[in-house]
Amino acid sequence: MPSELLYAAKHAKGFMPLEEGLALFETACRYGKLGPICEIGTYCGKSAIYLGAAARQTGSVVITVDHHRGSEEIQPGWAHHDPTLVDPRFGKMDSLPTFRSTIAAAGLEDEVIAIVGRSDQVAALWNAPLGMLFIDGGHSDDPVTRDYEGWAPHVVTGGALVFHDVFPDPADGGQAPYRVYRRALESGAFAEAAVAGSLRVLERIGPGI
């Protein structure tokens, strides 16, 4: 990964550990050649830098989808809440300005395309095949399930479905991503290709989602 983009990713606001970010970059380099890369859950753009760097290297593009009002775990009163991201005019979270600044500063505006809206609403309108899908939006059961059901059917055969924050042990973190990751494996449509920390890379091997 180019040093200037690695520096930008390291210093961007977000929750992606370095080891997992580099694994995400390497995965996107492998599968981005097959079609666009789609990220569900943008927040402030940290992981989009890793994906954008891979898109530049492979000649692909990143579509990143988020309503930018924040998932449950970053709302006021929760552990990951950042009060600097609250828009005082509306009293709501708004990570979009920080995201735009992050991607512009990294020089990735040509590689990273933002769609602002709810994942399920955008998925209902989406028709293009995807080389890679990265699910990292809301981490409770309903949003992870909607992200999987709405977007995974668009992953091409040989493409990748990637989950973040997969914790088999409940003591390590929430279980919703783990449950949907297990569902994907049990569907027969995907086989596990790689593991890096809480990152799980599944490769599409057939129909059956």
- Taking CA 160 as the corner, what is the angle to CA 195 and CA 164, rounded to the nearest 5 degrees? 45
* Beta carbons within 8 Å of 109's beta carbon, 6+ residues apart: 103
**Which residue of the set 67, 68, 139, 154 is catalytic?**
139
CA dist 80 and 64 (Å) reads: 21
Distance between start and end Cα atoms, the chain: 33
64 forms beta bridges with: 39, 114
* H or E stretch at 162: strand 155-163
Chain position carrying tokens 């006021």: 76
Contact between residue 24 and residue 199 where contact means Cβ atoms under 8 Å apart: yes
CA dist 187 and 185 (Å) reads: 5
Based on the residue annotation, tell me whether 139 is a catalytic residue of this protein: yes
Catalytic center residues: 139
